[in-house]
Homo-oligomer: A and B are copies of this chain.
Amino acid sequence: MPTPFEHLAALNRLVHEPSRLAILTALSVCEKADFLFLLNITGLTKGNLSSHLSKLEQAGLVAIEKKFEGKQPITYAMLTLEGREALTEHWKRLEHIRKGARALKPLKAT
């Protein structure tokens, strides 16, 4: 009989980290977002947003697209399919854990 906490082991730290959870969750509701937009809504510094995005890209959860808009370089990020699935799965696990705790109720300390 598995406890709901087994799901914790499966929590993907890459997704779970607050800043990245923010980025991913934000991306999940826009088809595409640029760097500065993400910067504003997450409140991260440029440096940290940059490195989190790289990490997410490397993991295949987001796709990065760099182009020039006129003369300004601009970086777009969007969720990959994999990223979308990972995020959905993650929220589901969290939900599951919290719900599961209630089911644990009858258990008592030795």
**Chain A residues within 8 Å of B, Cβ to Cβ:** 3, 5-6, 8-9, 11, 13, 16, 18-19, 21-22, 25-26, 28-34, 36-37, 40-43, 74, 76, 91, 94, 97-98, 101-102, 104-105, 107-110
Whole-angstrom CA separation of A76 from B110 in the bound complex: 9
From B8, B25, B104, A18 is in contact (CB under 8 Å) with: B8
Tell me the number of copies of this protein.
2
Q: Are A36 and B110 in contact (CB under 8 A)?
A: yes
Least distance between A49 CB and chain B CB atoms (Å): 12
The reply to whether A102 and B22 contact each other, CB–CB distance below 8 Å, is no
13 further interface pairs, Cβ-Cβ under 8 Å (given A16-B18, A32-B109, A94-B94): A3-B41, A5-B22, A5-B26, A8-B42, A11-B18, A25-B101, A26-B104, A28-B101, A29-B102, A30-B104, A30-B107, A30-B108, A33-B109
Residues of B within 8 A of A109 (CB): 30-34, 37, 76
